[in-house]
Amino acid sequence: MDYHNLAGQVNMELNYRKEDTIVISDFHLGSKRSKARKLGNFLHKLLDNPPYRLILNGDVFELWSTNYKNIGSDEHRVIKLVAALSEKGTKIVYIPGNHDRAFRAFFEFTFGKIKMRNEYVIRHDHKKYLVMHGDEFDAFTRNHVVISILLDQFYVLLVRLSAFLKIFSRSKKSLSANKNSKKYAEIVS
């Protein structure tokens, strides 16, 4: 489920059972691309009927390119809402991704009621479901961290340049528009 679309619906109806697990990822708190307000609205809706488990599946924080001036009240609200869900009994699992990989030093730790894991197995109806962040399958990102960070910064620069050039151009095309924005990494590999 794409949380960006779900969280953007103001009058959304959440259809889940209290015993369900909700998995969300890639909200990059601290970046200009973060959707912290929409995520906060989504988490606030969960307070009425807290799920059994909430898995924060990687890239919760943007540690590659965070300008700490971008961390504001919306980001603080998200953190407070996660804590509030935990206080209401929701089990919180944090699986770091590539953009918040610094937290991987804390695997198998529990901070209060938040479990830090590299991966998590959900057992449901005699089946097992493995939850892990996608960067685990990306050998380039895993093995070339510095180059990956530089490519990410280059992509952000392209997005900004594209927005700037759009002001002076009649073209509706974007330099950064691409169905698969991660393809830029293939140039280097």
Cα gap 3→23, rounded to integer Å? 9
Tell me what pLDDT residue 141 has: 67
Tell me what pLDDT residue 157 has: 77
Is a pLDDT exceeding 50 seen at residue 69? yes
Nearest residue to 135 (alpha-carbon basis) of 103, 159, 158, 91:
103
Residue 43, Cβ density class (10 Å: 0-12 exposed, 13-18 middle, ≥19 buried) = buried
Cα gap 179→170, rounded to integer Å? 22
Tell me what pLDDT residue 84 has: 94
Is a pLDDT exceeding 70 seen at residue 116? yes
Tell me what pLDDT residue 4 has: 42
Amino acid sitting at position 46:
L
Task: Classify 131 in phi/psi space as left (phi over 0), alpha (psi -120 to 50) or beta.
Answer: beta
Tell me what pLDDT residue 85 has: 94
Higher pLDDT pick, 122 / 169? 122
| Residue 114, token pair as written in the block | 């938040």
| Residue 171, token pair as written in the block | 């073209």
Is a pLDDT exceeding 70 seen at residue 27? yes
Confidence at 189, pLDDT banded by 50, 70, 90: very low
Tell me what pLDDT residue 89 has: 92
* Arithmetic mean of pLDDT over the chain: 74
pTM (2 decimals)?
A: 0.62
**Least confident range of 82-91, 113-122, 175-184:** 175-184
Q: What sign does the dihedral 44-4-129-15 (CA atoms) show? A: positive
Rg (CA), the chain: 18
Tell me what pLDDT residue 70 has: 64
Nearest residue to 145 (alpha-carbon basis) of 112, 101, 83:
101
